[in-house]
Amino acid sequence: MVEEFKVGVIGAGYVGLVTGACLAQIGHRVTCVDRDEDRVAQLSAGRVPIYEPGLEEMVVRNARRGTLFFTGPGGLREVVRAADVVFIAVDTPQGEDGSADLSNVAAVAKSIGSVLAAAPREKPLLIVNKSTVPVGSGDYVSMLVCDGIDEAGGAGEPAEFRVVSNPEFLREGNALYDSLFPDRIVLGADSREALEAMRSLYDPIIAQSFPTDLDPRPKVSVPLVVTDLASAEMIKYAANAFLATKISFINEVSNLCELVGADVANVAAGIGLDERIGPRFLGAGVGWGGSCFPKDVAALRSVAREYDYEPVLLDATVAVNERQRRRVISKLQHDLHTLKGKRIALLGLAFKPNTDDLREAPSLRIAGELDSLGARVVGYDPVAGKAAARLSPGLRVVFDPYEALAGAHAAVVVTEWEEVRNLDLERAASLMDDPGLLVDGRNTLDPDAVRAAGLLYRGFGR
């Protein structure tokens, strides 16, 4: 039988909401706290304000069975007092210097301290950093909780709480799967007692003993990595920085492939069979974006420079990624020459499929560049279109890919949505200016099929 924990999750954004829903799913009693009252009202009514496959259904199901609740900032005190474990899952936006802004984390930590001062506990509260935070943040949170206790007039006894680092490794569009069937769970703490409690919290996932509709169950058990606070915090940054570097590496290779006449798809398949390399994250194209890779790589570079260390490889990773955006423009200019007055269709606007996230999306950078060069830019996305129109004034958004293609001199595949992968290429060719140019920014279409339909094909490294 699952040991039930009372869990508070502070921050009901992407990470907090997924964390709360999945912990409720495996049998814990979870209350999510968010300062946005409108968001709380939507979630309490069963409406999820972000797009993530399966999340709304999971939220509704667990709210109905009485394991998942939502409250505004006024409920923070009650949640902290009742909880065995409190997750901090607030935003840590990127500062101007690339470092992580911890002001939201700091405010939450001090608020938790003020509650602890007013209501002594029988056993220590576990305070879990789920937000992506730089190395040293565990000690920083401990200090701020103590400050909150002192300012509220408490004794400031550090024994009343323990801080744990438990970084998330969620892929947007696959977040529920990654939470329930993760590659690993990472726990960092200086307290054996805290680590054992967290092991119990996650035991249904570690043992894969919770009920699931997936058949067969994809994992027998989940590896648990137990380490110190600093190492757990570094694992998160190192993982994302490595993946970003792997993508930039294959993009560098793809540019060389174009020069020497090789096909990067064949090269990636060949090197990916090496177990030391692996096949994932070897897709050449317009590069990486989103909420994690850019922010985490920037934060790690910032940490390095705090210690007067130049992270040359990470700097090159970012430089290659920036260049990939510009290569889209170069490919368009190569065939269309001037872009002034040309209609360019961007197919897909979110930074990846199955999400509405536009943070650091390549589409917005490309749209801005095209607009500055005098092109008429029209974009299609099945989910993120309205938000993209607000963020990019020079972008006209439509909600049918063929409407975007009508009269276009060129189209750029930016996000490999299913609707884009399965385009009727002959219909596309009949709608576009003759001869239509298709720049495949994700190498997701069959070049021979594109050419057979009467379109010019330009991929990356092909």
Judged by average pLDDT, the poorest of 27-31, 94-98, 231-235 is 94-98
Q: Which CATH number fits domain 6-227: 3.40.47.10, 3.40.50.720, 3.20.20.370, 3.40.50.300?
A: 3.40.50.720
Prior bond to 73 cis, omega within 30? Answer: no
Residue 30 has pLDDT above 50, yes or no: yes
In 3D space, the residue among 36, 11, 184 whose CA is nearest the CA of residue 92 turns out to be 11
Residue 56 has pLDDT above 70, yes or no: yes
- Whether residue 292 lies in the annotated active site: yes
Please measure the distance between the N-terminal and C-terminal CA atoms of the chain and give it in whole angstroms: 55
Q: Is 110 annotated for ligand binding?
A: no
Other C-beta atoms within 10 Å of 205: how many? Answer: 22
Question: How much is the pLDDT for 156?
Answer: 46
Q: Is 92 annotated for ligand binding?
A: yes
Query: What are the backbone dihedrals phi and psi of residue 205, each rounded to the nearest 5 degrees, phi first?
Result: -80, -45
CA distances from 237 to 113, 230, 244, 317, 401 (A): 27, 11, 11, 14, 37
Q: Is 338 annotated for ligand binding?
A: no
Q: Is 47 annotated for ligand binding?
A: no
Rg (CA), the chain: 24
Cα angle, residue 416 at apex, residues 98 and 55 outer, rounded to 5°: 75
Q: Is 172 annotated for ligand binding?
A: yes
Q: Is 359 annotated for ligand binding?
A: yes
Identify the CATH homologous superfamily for domain 317-458.
Answer: NAD(P)-binding Rossmann-like Domain (3.40.50.720)
Residue 74 has pLDDT above 60, yes or no: yes
Question: How much is the pLDDT for 155?
Answer: 53
Q: Is 169 annotated for ligand binding?
A: yes
Residue with tokens 């390095």: 304
What is this structure's pTM?
0.91
Q: How far apart are CA 3 and CA 398, in angstroms?
A: 50
Catalytic residue among 22, 32, 146, 292: 292
Q: Is 54 left (phi over 0), alpha (psi -120 to 50) or beta?
A: left
In the chain, domain spans? 6-227, 317-458
Q: Is 71 annotated for ligand binding?
A: no
Q: Contacts for 62-67 with beta carbons within 8 Å, 24 or more apart?
A: 62/21, 62/24, 62/25, 62/30, 66/29, 67/24, 67/25, 67/27, 67/28, 67/29, 67/30
Q: What is the rounded average pLDDT of the residues 402-425?
A: 97
Are 4 and 28 contacting, i.e. CB atoms less than 8 angstroms apart? yes
Q: Is 283 annotated for ligand binding?
A: yes
Same fold? 6-227, 317-458: yes
Q: What is the rounded average pLDDT of the residues 132-148?
A: 90
Q: Is 346 annotated for ligand binding?
A: no
Question: Which secondary structure element, helix H or strand E, spans residue 141, and what is its range?
Answer: helix 137-151
Judged by average pLDDT, the poorest of 47-51, 134-138, 330-334 is 134-138
Question: Sorting pLDDT into bands at 50, 70 and 90, what band is 2?
Answer: low
Residue 157 has pLDDT above 60, yes or no: no
Of the chain, the percentage scoring pLDDT greater than 70 comes to: 98
Sheet holding 410-413, edge to edge: 395-398, 376-380, 343-347, 410-413, 437-440, 456-458
Q: How far apart are CA 240 and CA 45, in angstroms?
A: 35
Q: Quick one: tokens of 176?
A: 């529920």
Question: How much is the pLDDT for 100?
Answer: 84
Residue 70 has pLDDT above 90, yes or no: yes
